[in-house]
A and B are shown apart, each in its own frame.
Chain A
Amino acid sequence: MPNPAMDTPTTRLEEIEQGTSLGKDAWLRLKKNKLAMASLFIFVFIVLLCFIGPFFGVQHPTTTHLDAKSQPPSKDFLLGSEHLGRDILSRILYGGQVSLIVGFIATFVSLIIGVSYGAVAGYIGGRTDVIMMRIVDVLYALPFMLIVIILTASFSEALQDIEFLHAMKEKSIVFEPDLLLLFFAIGFVEWLTMARIVRSQIITLKKQEFVDAAVSLGLSHKRIIFRHLIPNVFGSIIVYTTLTVPSVMRLEAVLSFLGLGVKPPNSSWGSLIKEGADRMYSDPWLLVFPALFFSLTIFSLNFLGDGLRDALDPKTSKD
């Protein structure tokens, strides 16, 4: 009579042997975090809404309807119309494209600069590290708002002269010269923290055996940094990235609020919130809806970042 007790350990062993990857583990842990999952869905929903929504019959965001100005939400204007009769919903969706694209492109720029800079500084160490990190300190000390303003002011004319951009901007607002500048200007000031985080992680990692192994195999420094070290700090990078996106979006909102971001008649969430804040006493919906979209996005990205941090932490117990 076969002993059922004998089978069980075998199956268990097989299961363990199959194992799960780090990413799958993280995903399982993330799935358990209800707040993070809800945030993920909300975020994806807003992104889809902003980029696909405009194809489904919303009005043009800059077309004025003076005879239907300042209307509360109704059948014609789902979220109301503003002081020139432009549809708030379509302005929010198109503005959302700007805000989200700024968030992603600027974060991507900061990611590329920050990761390679931090990794190189941390890996080489010694005097190079000291010099590179002091440069970061100096840049940190500069008021970043000022840098963004100077960058936008000094390059704006040059970009205006590129005909290609003007041809493209008819197709997508992303090619608006001023916006393009904004993406890079924000990216250039946002990479500093990323560089610090990556550097500190690399310093702890480079003392470990697998790096010694890689060195003894005669791999080049470049290969060691980009194939062995950086993949090991992906966790922190991903987490910090999800936190950078909202902070970049906030920065864009601040700049647009100050009149330095998107130029009229285009909108971004920041500029819509400013226009709404000015008129909140007479037309409150002008403030409420853009602010709602903006805060939902920011919150969901932050919660998602939090959840990812917990999920990607290898020290978290496997349960």
Chain B
Amino acid sequence: MMPRIKAGLLLVITLALVSCGRESRVDWATRNKILMVGNGSEPKALDPHLVSSVGDSNILRALFEGLVTYHPTDDSKNAPGVAERWESNDDYTVWTFYFRDDAKWSNGDPVTPEDFLYAYERILSPDMASPYASMLYFLKNAKAFNEEKLSDFSQVGVKALDNRTLQCTLRQPTAFFPQVVKHGTWYPVHPPTIEKFGQNDAGLKPMTMQFTLWQRPGNHVSNGAFQLKSWQINKSVVVEPNPYYWDADIVKLKEIRFFPLPNEFTEERAYRDGQVHYTYTMPPNMIDWYRKNDPKHLRLDPYAGVYYYKCNLNVPPLDNVKVRQALAYAIDRKKIVENVTLGGQAPTYAFVPPIEGLYASPQLVKYDPDKARQLLAEAGYPGGKGFPRIDLLFNTQDTHRAIAETIQDMWKKELGITGIGLLNQEWKVYLSTLHDMRYEMARHAWIGDYVDPTTFLDMLRTGDSNNETGWSSPEYDQLLSDAALAPTAEARQKILQEAETIVMTELPFIPIYWYTRTTLVHPHIQNWEPLLLDNHPYKHVDLLAD
């Protein structure tokens, strides 16, 4: 027995010594210019037309580049991408993009306007069922094409003037259009690759085949600063510089590795252990710890996003506006941000996060338990009696659960509602449950796609693929259309505020808080500025050991 114990002890000591002397993985990675990124859930796809989550778009931003691309220090500014310059007509309805000559795919093919046309037709094709097709509704007739009311793609407002020029005709004046085309849904795809892997016996158009083998390493062709090196399910996605990228000289990283770390606690431990340079998020209980012990790692940046509960309006009792109002008024948001999320988030009594100099939301939702009780009684459930059982759905993450448990308890205390069940689902399952509207009430969040209030408000337009509540209001749709034609910025703001007032009175979405970006950023990372939309262009990022 004794010799064995001694041997064991020796082994432990040796291991301890070895691990002490070992260079941490982050230091090794910095030395080799490999950026290690914790990136939330396993990506759904590496196809810009199939994804909708922030984590997935973080990877796609490395792989692809749109006509215009992200600015390293300010998300409301634009940097030239595939197009070296762009211009519009006087009323911002026709935009022309002039391509650079050296824009190339990762296999050496030139990037042409035809590639963009192909990509736009693909994402808008009804058979593709892209979750984010509505981003392209800016184009004239795009909505009709996507909804199968129009079958001729040439009538959609986009065309190639020659092999270096792309022209977009919009459904309404949009001064911020270059910002919109930075978004992942506007990325091009490589048509020969999509066609090759989309061949099928079912007689479907190769373009509309989802999840084909084109996304595999070796097959994947992209036009961004990086190209796909490997993708191991539930392990990592690795990208390496694209040698044909027009701005390849500026790219300093040799590799970026994205790790799916859906558990925030695991991710934080991985960070503390020197496994990753950057975390997707962080557990609230550690924020204070970092503030005290390691403040230079902690980043709390402004972030244009809103956290809310969406209601399925086809299900009683949520079809009753008074019930939704009662639920919304009974949530003490201040308590939640101060005690549960802890990252300096702002309690929200409106929907659209404030955008400095551009938009201020009307603050309509209150914390008013007395009014909430009264509303609930008017709706026919005095004291919560007879309130049907409903489930509150959230994707698996501890903070979502903590918030759900808190609100469940608030509704119980304030309104006497006991029939709220909590249901968690894994990210991909959760997305499809939302998409099919097989839920009653669900946690959801929206991060702006561009710096403008319509990135939030457009979601609630009738027929938008991200609406998913069954709510629709012709008056609201009309206001959004009117806003686009408003002569001045003030007039536009006023109309949009009116639209938001409708939403916040009818409350298909019950807002909870406005985000702050709470992350851990390793001091080795250079050029990682706080960005309102958190869209960091990786080509500027560098790693330097201190």
- Select from chain A the residue with minimum beta-carbon distance to B268: A281
Contact-residue bracket for chain B? 20 to 34
B340–A66 touching, CB < 8 Å = yes
User: Which of A67, A278, A279 has the most chain B CB atoms closer than 10 A to its own CB?
Assistant: A278
Q: Chain B contacts of A62 at CB under 8 A?
A: 405, 409
A84–B285 touching, CB < 8 Å = no
The minimal Cβ–Cβ distance linking A158 to chain B, given in whole angstroms, is 15
A69–B339 touching, CB < 8 Å = yes
B389–A83 touching, CB < 8 Å = no
B286–A84 touching, CB < 8 Å = no
The minimal Cβ–Cβ distance linking B242 to chain A, given in whole angstroms, is 39
B404–A264 touching, CB < 8 Å = yes
Q: Chain A contacts of B422 at CB under 8 A?
A: 263-265
Tell me, yes or no, whether B406 is within 8 Å of chain A by CB: yes
- Select from chain A the residue with minimum beta-carbon distance to B288: A282
| Chain A 77-91 interface residues, beta-carbon cutoff 8 Å to B | 83-85
Contact with A along B337-351 (1 / 0, CB 8 A): 011100000000000
B406–A64 touching, CB < 8 Å = yes
B405–A278 touching, CB < 8 Å = no
A263–B421 touching, CB < 8 Å = yes
Partner of B339, one of A67, A265, A278: A67
A166–B340 touching, CB < 8 Å = no
Contact with A along B304-338 (1 / 0, CB 8 A): 00000000000000000000000000000001101
A-B contact count (CB 8 A): 62
User: Which of B265, B336, B413 has the most chain A CB atoms closer than 10 A to its own CB?
Assistant: B265
The minimal Cβ–Cβ distance linking A194 to chain B, given in whole angstroms, is 34
The minimal Cβ–Cβ distance linking A159 to chain B, given in whole angstroms, is 13
A278–B265 touching, CB < 8 Å = yes
- Select from chain A the residue with minimum beta-carbon distance to B405: A265
Interface of B is mostly: helix
A279–B265 touching, CB < 8 Å = yes
Tell me, yes or no, whether A70 is within 8 Å of chain B by CB: yes
A281–B289 touching, CB < 8 Å = yes
Tell me, yes or no, whether A23 is within 8 Å of chain B by CB: no
The minimal Cβ–Cβ distance linking B409 to chain A, given in whole angstroms, is 5
Q: Chain B contacts of A83 at CB under 8 A?
A: 284-285, 340, 402
Contact with A along B393-407 (1 / 0, CB 8 A): 000101001101110
The answer to whether A84 and B402 touch (CB under 8 A), given A263-B421, A265-B408, is yes
B283–A279 touching, CB < 8 Å = yes
Q: State how many residues of chain A have any CB contact under 8 Å with chain B.
A: 23
Q: Chain B contacts of A277 at CB under 8 A?
A: 265
B406–A278 touching, CB < 8 Å = no
Tell me, yes or no, whether A319 is within 8 Å of chain B by CB: no
Interface of A is mostly: loop
B418–A170 touching, CB < 8 Å = yes
Q: How far is the CA of A67 from the CA of B406 in the complex (A)?
A: 12
The minimal Cβ–Cβ distance linking B83 to chain A, given in whole angstroms, is 46
User: Which of A62, A84, A85, A170 has the most chain B CB atoms closer than 10 A to its own CB?
Assistant: A84
Partner of B409, one of A64, A67, A170: A64
The minimal Cβ–Cβ distance linking B156 to chain A, given in whole angstroms, is 43
- Select from chain B the residue with minimum beta-carbon distance to A279: B285
User: Which of A67, A70, A263, A265 has the most chain B CB atoms closer than 10 A to its own CB?
Assistant: A265
B405–A166 touching, CB < 8 Å = no
Q: How far is the CA of A305 from the CA of B295 in the complex (A)?
A: 52
The minimal Cβ–Cβ distance linking B518 to chain A, given in whole angstroms, is 15
Q: How far is the CA of A277 from the CA of B402 in the complex (A)?
A: 15
Q: How far is the CA of A63 from the CA of B413 in the complex (A)?
A: 9
Partner of B405, one of A70, A264, A282: A264
Tell me, yes or no, whether B493 is within 8 Å of chain A by CB: no
The answer to whether A282 and B340 touch (CB under 8 A), given A64-B405, A264-B404, is no
- Select from chain B the residue with minimum beta-carbon distance to A66: B339
A278–B398 touching, CB < 8 Å = yes
Q: How far is the CA of A264 from the CA of B284 in the complex (A)?
A: 19
Tell me, yes or no, whether B212 is within 8 Å of chain A by CB: no
Tell me, yes or no, whether A314 is within 8 Å of chain B by CB: no
Q: Chain A contacts of B269 at CB under 8 A?
A: 281
- Select from chain A the residue with minimum beta-carbon distance to B421: A263
Tell me, yes or no, whether B424 is within 8 Å of chain A by CB: yes
The minimal Cβ–Cβ distance linking A80 to chain B, given in whole angstroms, is 13
B404–A283 touching, CB < 8 Å = no
B409–A264 touching, CB < 8 Å = no
B339–A282 touching, CB < 8 Å = no
The minimal Cβ–Cβ distance linking B503 to chain A, given in whole angstroms, is 28
User: Which of B269, B396, B421, B424 has the most chain A CB atoms closer than 10 A to its own CB?
Assistant: B421
Q: How far is the CA of A62 from the CA of B335 in the complex (A)?
A: 17
The minimal Cβ–Cβ distance linking B355 to chain A, given in whole angstroms, is 30
Residues on B lying within 8 angstroms of A by beta carbon are 263, 265, 269, 283-286, 288-289, 335-336, 338-340, 389, 396, 398, 401-402, 404-406, 408-409, 413, 418-419, 421-424
**6 A-B interface contacts by CB (under 8 A):** A64-B405, A66-B406, A67-B335, A264-B404, A265-B405, A281-B289
The 6 tightest CB contacts between A and B, nearest first, are A278-B265, A66-B339, A265-B405, A282-B285, A64-B409, A264-B422
